[in-house]
Amino acid sequence: MKDNTPLIKVENLTKDFGNKTLALDNVNNNIYNGEVVVVIGPSGSGKSTFLRCLNLLEVPTSGHIYFEGTDITDPKNNLNKHRQKMGMVFQQFNLFPHMTIMRNLTIGPMKLLKKSKEDAEKKAMELLERVGLADRAYSYPNQLSGGQKQRIAIVRALCMEPDVMLFDEPTSALDPEMVGEVLDVMKNLAKENMTMVVVTHEMGFAREVASRVIFMENGRILEENNPEEFFNNPKSDRLKNFLNMVL
């Protein structure tokens, strides 16, 4: 599952929004093929900024991000080409309200991957079946529950055949009873060896699915480990206190 070449290599990543504290303070990390890296930490710790920097939705103040060996922070490189290989799922679903679900799912592959309508729809339907929403292909977003919309948002990202999926608190805007259906989709992706970086408050998911858990505080990675060690044997007092609050 894991070779020695990182899929994403983060070097000296710093982000300064001009506040008194740095949002990211010289962060270094590697993300390998097939890993599920879960990032946790208190509000304002820099975890979402870290995630959004990975595909340059936030442009770093300094540092480098290498994706599949290419420095995507170098303006000479074609960022959009690389972004197509990085699926992103947000708190909000960002579906086009005036388009059917099928149209939401096929517009990207047809425009950007130059797929035929037939091929794009076939792939979309296969993915809808996998998440239990094939019967909603020709519904509109306002006819779906929040959990259904978020599953559609995940499918939309998968339709672009990405090499990595980035999740920014994908369940935090959902009613509690809808969280499980979204996490189940993510668990199935993990079983299929999809590389994933997930910012979340769902500690059960981190414990069960992560290959590695990262704890951030004040824009830095304070601690990281495999889930068993991370949750059962935290090294720093700060992480111990955090886990006592959230578990």
pLDDT category of residue 3 using cuts at 50, 70 and 90: low
Cβ partners under 8 Å of residue 103, min gap 6: 96
DSSP state of 129: H
Q: Is the pLDDT of residue 2 over 50?
A: no
CB 40 within 8 A of CB 203: yes
d(CA 110, CA 79): 19
Kindly provide the b/e burial profile for residues 63-89, where b requires at least 16 CB atoms within 10 angstroms of the residue's own CB: bebbbbeeebbeeeeebeebbbebbbb
**What digits encode the pLDDT tens for the residues 197-223?**
999 999 999 999 999 999 999 999 999
Q: Is the pLDDT of residue 148 over 80?
A: yes
Q: Is the pLDDT of residue 160 over 90?
A: yes
**What digits encode the pLDDT tens for the residues 38-85?**
999 999 999 999 999 999 999 999 999 999 999 999 999 998 889 999
pTM reported for the whole predicted model: 0.94
Work out the percent of the chain whose per-residue pLDDT is above 90.
Answer: 89
**Least trusted range by pLDDT, from 1-15, 35-49, 88-102:** 1-15
Identify any residues that bridge with 235 across adjacent strands, giving them in sequence order: none
Half-sphere exposure of 201 (CA within 13 A, CB side): 14
d(CA 13, CA 214): 15
Mean of per-residue pLDDT scores for the chain: 94
d(CA 133, CA 125): 9
d(CA 133, CA 167): 20
When pLDDT is averaged across residues 80-99 and rounded to a whole number, the result is: 92
